[in-house]
Amino acid sequence: MIATGRDIAAAVRGKQRSAREVVDEHLARIDARERELHAFNLVMADEARAAADALDARIADGEDPGPLAGVPIALKDNFCMRGIATTCSSRILEGWKPPYDATVVARLKAAGAIVVGKTNLDEFAMGSSTENSAFGPTRNPHDPSRVPGGSSGGSAAAVAAGFSAISFGSDTGGSIRQPAALCGVVGVKPTYGRVSRYGLVAFASSLDQIGPFTTTVDDAALALEVIAGHDPRDTTSIPESVPDYSAALNEGADGLRVGVVKEFLAAEGLAPDVARRVHEAVDALERAGAKVDEASVPSTIFGLSAYYLIAPAEASSNLARYDGVRYGLRVDAPTTAEMNARTRTAGFGAEVKRRIMLGTYALSAGYYDAYYGKAQRVRTLILREFDQAYESFDVLLGPTAPATAFPFGAKADPLAMYLNDVFTIPSNLSGHPAVSVPFGTGDDGLPVGVQVLAPALGEVAMLRAAAAIEAAAPS
Ligand code: GLN
């Protein structure tokens, strides 16, 4: 049994275990399986041991080591950490080392967490399988012939394999929740603005949000308490205090009004074994005292189309900064324009180029209203429908991904890959929080995730429902 972050922190704080011992144990697991799984772009063994020793020294001096004392964590390789290469799994950032820590990284370090490595992802977080990483894919710890999901596949695999007790990723269209579902771990996308993105490499700024991967809902609550809260360095950060998420879990699901999104369950492409698990989770919530009814959010089915205009549009702008001058790779040429073009041609992979072209097209004069403008109107429609549903329900329920983990190469057609995100994207478009909770397995014996969606800043109700689902999960 792999220890939770909560248990590790309690043992380290209580001096039953040293941080060094805990870190060594996780590094040994990395040694044993990392070659096979490739969860990491960088394993920071020396840095982790040094940080653990420093923490143990502080504990010996009687200092408070923080709520995540000695907890090994892994960070998606699009988080900035001072002096540590940040690649976004792209060749274009080759050799670049950020001169500062992301706010989330600073908060985690201050809480006593120990960073063991930077995890693999789809290049610039664009994808659902990690197959778009420039450094080769990550494998699913439950079945190495299958993908771990993406784009935060390395972070999901790291927790599933016991490489770190907790890991962190970014979710723009499902990149925390979908890999969490495929790897059998908990994954949270908080409310837009709840967690600072300062120091997260931007993909689509109106959608990006940071969140944790954990083995339990309780650990997700603990991790959120550390990373959430206002940050003046992120202009989208919400200036609201952070609730005691951990305490909320004791409230149970009694009296919660749960709506099952009927459009999700009727969606073409939803595998019957996943649908069955969602129905079982509904039954479990009812047994736990929740009031369950059918909910309707009709426009969610258009979310995917809207997302694949809005996200590439924002990406085309955000990625313009990789010009061979300011960051990483440069391929020299006689003129600046040629140098820019050669650098970007060599530095970006096929999916990133596809998104930049799609986005540039969608934003171009003459097409702006027809594509970008219309997508924004769909976004507003979805937000309104969610708000209406939340007048009758505290949380909504559905699947996280349409099916269990798929084999490598199974979704070579980009559109087939994009369809993975159909249930996760609506919450990014609305800015609402959502969590994927492991709930048994599919017919192939691989993990299934059930998704709990909540209104803005509805993390407490969301986590209460998630904990009830977790408690009833088939083993
Ligand atoms: N799979 C989606 C995409 O490719 C979502 C990615 C993400 O959330 N970062 O855009």
The 10s digit of each residue's pLDDT in 308-324 is 999 999 999 999 999 99
Q: What is the arithmetic mean of pLDDT over 384-409?
A: 98
Q: What pLDDT score does 73 carry?
A: 98
**Does 258 share its domain with 344?**
no
**Does 187 share its domain with 124?**
yes
**Does 283 share its domain with 315?**
no
What's the structural domain count of the chain?
A: 3
What six digits make up the tokens of 421?
A: 């995100």
Show the ligand 1 pocket: residues with CB < 6 angstroms. 125-128, 151, 170-175, 203, 311, 421
Handedness of CA 413, 414, 419, 421 (dihedral sign): positive
For residues 455 and 324, give the distance between their C-alpha atoms in angstroms, rounded to a whole number.
Answer: 41
Q: What pLDDT score does 475 carry?
A: 80
What b/e readout covers 142-166, taking b as 16+ CB neighbours within 10 angstroms? bbeebbbbbbbbbbbbbbbbbbbbb
Provide the pLDDT confidence category of residue 78 given band limits of 50, 70 and 90.
very high
**Does 431 share its domain with 364?**
no
Q: What is the arithmetic mean of pLDDT over 177-204?
A: 98
Q: How many CA atoms lie within 13 A of 434 on its CB side?
A: 34
For residues 68 and 115, give the distance between their C-alpha atoms in angstroms, rounded to a whole number.
Answer: 11
What six digits make up the tokens of 141?
A: 């710890």
Is 436 annotated in the active site?
no
For residue 276, what is the domain's CATH number?
3.90.1300.10
Q: What is the arithmetic mean of pLDDT over 56-76?
A: 98
* Span from the CA of 17 to the centroid of ligand 1 (angstroms): 39
Sheet holding 72-76, edge to edge: 40-43, 114-119, 72-76, 166-170, 210-214, 186-189, 434-441, 447-453, 395-399, 257-261, 291-295
**Does 271 share its domain with 335?**
no
Place of tokens 């919530």: 285
- pLDDT by residue (tens digit) across 90-142? 999 999 999 999 999 999 999 999 999 999 999 999 999 999 999 999 999 99
- pLDDT by residue (tens digit) across 137-183? 999 999 999 999 999 999 999 999 999 999 999 999 999 999 999 99
Q: Which of 230, 249, 268 is the last residue of a domain?
A: 249
pTM for the full model? 0.98
With a cut of 90, say whether residue 365 has pLDDT above it. Answer: no
With a cut of 70, say whether residue 301 has pLDDT above it. Answer: yes
Provide the pLDDT confidence category of residue 2 given band limits of 50, 70 and 90.
confident
Provide the pLDDT confidence category of residue 383 given band limits of 50, 70 and 90.
very high
What b/e readout covers 26-56, taking b as 16+ CB neighbours within 10 angstroms? bbebbeebbeebbbbbbbbbebbbebbeebb
Query: Quick check: 77 and 154 in contact, CB under 8 A?
Result: yes
With a cut of 80, say whether residue 1 has pLDDT above it. Answer: no
Q: Which domain holds residue 440?
A: 253-302+373-471
**Does 433 share its domain with 332?**
no
Q: Which of 352, 369, 386 is the last residue of a domain?
A: 369
Is 109 annotated in the active site?
no
Q: Which of 319, 343, 369 is the last residue of a domain?
A: 369
**Does 200 share its domain with 276?**
no
Is 291 annotated in the active site?
no
Q: What is the arithmetic mean of pLDDT over 292-305?
A: 96
Angular region, 160: left φ>0, alpha ψ -120 to 50, beta rest: alpha
**Does 262 share its domain with 398?**
yes
SS3 for 252? Answer: coil
Q: Pinpoint the alpha helices (H) of 319-365.
A: 336-347, 350-363
Closest atom of ligand 1 to CA, residue 125: 9
For residues 275 and 399, give the distance between their C-alpha atoms in angstroms, rounded to a whole number.
Answer: 7
With a cut of 90, say whether residue 461 has pLDDT above it. Answer: yes
Going by C-beta distance under 8 Å and a sequence separation of 6 or more, which residues neighbour residue 324? 330, 331, 339, 340, 342, 343, 344, 347
Closest atom of ligand 1 to CA, residue 126: 4
The residue from 152, 175, 237, 246 that is catalytic is: 175
The residue from 18, 89, 151, 170 that is catalytic is: 151
**Does 187 share its domain with 200?**
yes
What six digits make up the tokens of 302?
A: 């258009």
Query: Across the chain, what does the average pLDDT equal?
Result: 97
**Does 446 share its domain with 316?**
no
Task: Give the residue from 253, 278, 298, 286 showing the smallest Cα distance to 394.
Answer: 253
